[in-house]
Structure 1
Amino acid sequence: MGVVGGEVAVTALTHRGAVRPANEDAVVVGALTVASANMTLPARCVLPLGEPVIAAVADGLGGHAAGEIASEHAVHRMAEMGPRLAGPDDLDILLKNIDEEIQEHATQHTEFSGMGTTVAGVLLNTDGNFWFNVGDSRTYRLEGTRLRQISQDDSPPLPPSEDGKPVSTNFITQSLGGSGASAMTPHVGRDGDAGPGAWLMCSDGLSDLVAHDDMERIIAEAGSDEAAVHGLWQAAMEASGRDNISILLARRL
């Protein structure tokens, strides 16, 4: 007999990259969080969906130490609150609360002024599949071997690349925390009913360095989710690895 609500298999990797001295990214899968880590092999876990499961990446920003504090706080709060999240309204409230908490911490500790983090992920529960993001970390729906971005980049529009390589900018228009003067508005949406699906989540350490077509090819040629995640990480490293790299591949079974 199957598990009530099914289950989700998540393969995760987070790494400092080839240039940065530390990893300010963090990831969350259900009640599990990984922050400030330097994984060179993916980790895979299978969780029952008897209660809601959240899976997300967070990319810290704001200078030395501040970014990793912001991203770690975000994933810890998502891990804590994930089992209670019923849908988009709960996600919206949680992300706004995390934003306020990071802002408050930065106010109390001037050395962390401007600290913030992006976030992108999915919430899977018995009511449906939901996506969310703030900043330029991304969530893609994996349809066969095709990737369709469902998150919304909080970054200014850029001209198309002439050489086919990804076009990137370090500027984002909003984050959780950060120095934005205007109110933060999370992007939250439904990605189907509570049925099977697959999603790729990543920080811009992957999406800025590896072209969309190359990401699809790597996934198509991989013999397993672990091989796919490891191959994506390798491609980002070979393309300079100039930023922290975090990747989650989640499959609702």
Structure 2
Amino acid sequence: MGVAGGEVTVTALTHRGAVRPANEDAVVTGPLTVASANMTVPARCVLPTSEPMILAVADGLGGHAAGEIASEHAVHRMAETGPRLSGPDDVDVLLKNINEEIKDHAEQHSEFSGMGTTVAGLLVMPEGNYWFNVGDSRAYRLEGTRLRQLSEDDSPPVPPSEDGTPASTTFITQSLGGSGSAAMVPHVGRDHEPDPSTWLLCSDGLSDLVPLEKMERIIAEAGSDEAAVHTLWQEAIAASGRDNISILLARRV
């Protein structure tokens, strides 16, 4: 159950990485959205939990500028709709609506054919929390010093690489929008752990490049959430930074 009169502290950063010419990721924290940004310093905000809100990262697909449009549309819709959501069924409907809206836009503009976005996030409500995702962006719960993945990757399993680097794939089985013809089915679940709670949301620009154990160590050893998010970003850059990087660290008290 939520804590009456509580709040969520969110620390977020989104960046194009070291290779991509533009950032097709976007993030949403309650009523606030950031898209097409190139942050090098994390932003921190404190939001009351008196009404429902969405915290999420979205990773645009389809190339500049199609991916930017898809991810920005997704976070704007989540920001405006979040306060009216009443539970997991509403999240499911919202994500399906966003999926159809992105597909409709791509059909009307041939230059954006195939554009889409992944998403991973939380619906934070006065009486509880729900996680959701589509694609391979991730939602983790911090349990002590361990990160437990809540989201379900929509990507085929990849065998570990011979040199021990994190396995990754650019192929996903579903997204919001995109070129797939199969019905999109969001993953939505109740976070049954009691408050206070801490979560890490990220695009695969972090999770593909920085091993889970290293992410856990960085969060445990950082002197602040801002330092943790900044160091996670630096580690992804050092590990090639080949993709856009979005990180959101949220604490509910």
Contact 1:26 1:246 in 2 (8 A): yes
Tell me the CA shift for residue 195 of structure 1: 2.3
Cα distance in 2, alignment partners of residues 28 and 93 from structure 1: 18
Number of equivalent positions? 251
Query: 1:108 aligns to what?
Result: 108
Letter in 1 for 2:154: D
Query: 1:186 aligns to what?
Result: 186
Query: 1:81 aligns to what?
Result: 81
Query: 1:228 aligns to what?
Result: 228
Cα distance change on mapping 1:100 and 1:55 into 2, 3 Å: same
Structure 1 residue ranges (4+ consecutive) displaced by more than 4 angstroms after TM superposition: none
Contact 1:127 1:194 in 2 (8 A): no
Cα distance change on mapping 1:194 and 1:96 into 2, 3 Å: farther
Letter in 1 for 2:46: V
Contact 2:22 2:64 in 1 (8 A): no
Tell me the CA shift for residue 193 of structure 1: 6.0
SS in 2 for 1:248: strand
Query: 2:91 aligns to what?
Result: 91
Query: 1:68 aligns to what?
Result: 68
Deviations 1:102-131 (A, max 9, x none): 000000000000000000011110221100
Cα distance in 2, alignment partners of residues 194 and 214 from structure 1: 26
Cα distance in 1, alignment partners of residues 74 and 144 from structure 2: 31
Query: 2:197 aligns to what?
Result: 197
Query: 2:208 aligns to what?
Result: 208
Query: 1:158 aligns to what?
Result: 158
Contact 1:86 1:127 in 2 (8 A): no
TM score, norm. by length of structure 1: 0.97
Cα distance in 1, alignment partners of residues 215 and 164 from structure 2: 13
Letter in 1 for 2:123: L
Q: CA RMSD in A?
A: 1.1
Tell me the CA shift for residue 37 of structure 1: 0.2
Contact 2:118 2:134 in 1 (8 A): yes
Letter in 2 for 1:241: G
Cα distance change on mapping 1:213 and 1:193 into 2, 3 Å: closer
Query: 2:250 aligns to what?
Result: 250
Contact 2:114 2:179 in 1 (8 A): yes
SS in 1 for 2:179: coil
Unaligned runs of 5+ in 2: none
Would you say 1:140 and 2:140 are equivalent positions? yes
Cα distance change on mapping 1:194 and 1:124 into 2, 3 Å: farther
SS in 1 for 2:206: helix
Tell me the CA shift for residue 148 of structure 1: 0.5
Cα distance in 1, alignment partners of residues 194 and 114 from structure 2: 38
Cα distance change on mapping 1:125 and 1:5 into 2, 3 Å: farther
SS in 1 for 2:205: helix
TM score, norm. by length of structure 2: 0.97
